[in-house]
Amino acid sequence: MKNFISLFVLMFALAFSSSAAFSELNISISDNASFFVNLDGTEYSASAGSVTIRGLNHGNHYLEVTRETMTLNGVSYNRLFSGYISISPSKRIFAVIDRFGTYKVVRTENISSGYSSNYNSYGSNYGNSYSNVNGHGNGYNALCSNSYGSSSWGNSGYNSGYMPPVSNYMPMGMNPQAFSTLVASMNHEVFDDSKVRIAALAISMNGVTSAQLRELIMLLTFDSNKVKLAKLGYPSVVDKNNIFMLNDAFVFSSSADEFYRSIGIW
């Protein structure tokens, strides 16, 4: 009986430690094109400008990122990156393939183990059920019916006690109606300076997505003002992992480089 209990506890501890080590990888590319990712032989397609892969074990993984482009002759495929990447345990990793074909980690977040307080209640029920009965036979029966069974282990302990990390969050930014009003207001202005002032105020109060900031920058004429608005708007961007969508909003690549240097990307 003692060996059975020790083995069971060991198996549960191993399950706990391995689940807690899972990581998540979010990949975007430097432009707004369609793309797909192949990680260790499994293919993932982009959704909302990025690819998110969950349940990753830590260690090295082989990654390929391919851009899909429509041409007059059909669809063409351009491999942007291929090579091994390192995944740390219990991390949510935001990475980008920049316009030079380099894999860069933009930021990381810790992922909690996902175990709720039911794990503690399971341990308490386990101990109490086993210690409060007389004899091994009765103790084992009580252990099975009270802790392993429907009251703790079957329904509330194991099945709902562990909650794998799930990230279904979709950044909202400025609501569509307010954004349309802002675009209309900017279009009524003649000079870039006025457009920048209006946009910067609205962004600071409402926030924006990377795609929305890109659209606002495209309303400006001169690159110097585009860079200015990008710098002013960046702190309020809700999906900074997609900030590389701004790359083609600038006329000159040197302007894009100036902006990315200012936010510490390169």
Tokens for 120, please give them.
């503690």
Residue type, 109: E
Round to whole Å and give the CA distance between 171 and 185: 24
Contact 205, 171 (CB under 8 A): no
Tell me how many helices (H) and strands (E) the chain has: 9, 8
Range list for CATH 2.60.40 in the chain:
20-110
| CATH code, residues 20-110 | 2.60.40
Give residue 186's pLDDT. 94
Give residue 123's pLDDT. 43
Strands 23-29 and 59-71: unpaired
**Vertex 206 angle, CA 202 and 211, to 5°:** 85
Write phi, then psi, for 245 (nearest 5 degrees): -60, -20
Round to whole Å and give the CA distance between 221 and 55: 45
Round to whole Å and give the CA distance between 193 and 20: 50
Three-class secondary structure of residue 114 per DSSP: coil
Per-residue pLDDT of the chain (266 residues; tens, 9 = 90+): 555 555 454 455 544 444 457 899 988 886 656 788 999 989 888 755 788 898 898 889 999 999 877 667 777 788 889 999 999 888 889 888 877 788 888 888 888 644 433 434 444 444 444 444 444 444 444 434 444 443 333 444 444 444 444 444 445 788 888 899 999 999 999 999 999 999 999 999 889 999 999 999 999 999 999 999 999 999 999 888 889 889 889 999 899 999 999 988 76
Give residue 28's pLDDT. 84
Q: Give the CA distances from residue 200 to residues 53, 61, 196, 227, 231, in Å, rounded to whole numbers and listed in that order.
A: 34, 41, 6, 12, 10
Sheet holding 103-110, edge to edge: 51-56, 23-29, 91-97, 103-110
How far, rounded to the nearest angstrom, does the alpha carbon of residue 85 sit from its chain's CA centroid? 17
Give residue 266's pLDDT. 66
pTM equals 0.41
Tokens for 51, please give them.
């690819």
Closest CA to 78 of 123, 111, 34: 34
Q: Give the CA distances from residue 52 to residues 43, 44, 147, in Å, rounded to whole numbers and listed in that order.
A: 11, 8, 37
Q: Which one-letter DSSP state was computed for residue 21?
A: T
**Vertex 235 angle, CA 229 and 236, to 5°:** 85
Give residue 11's pLDDT. 52
Helix (H) / strand (E) element for 122: namely helix 118-131
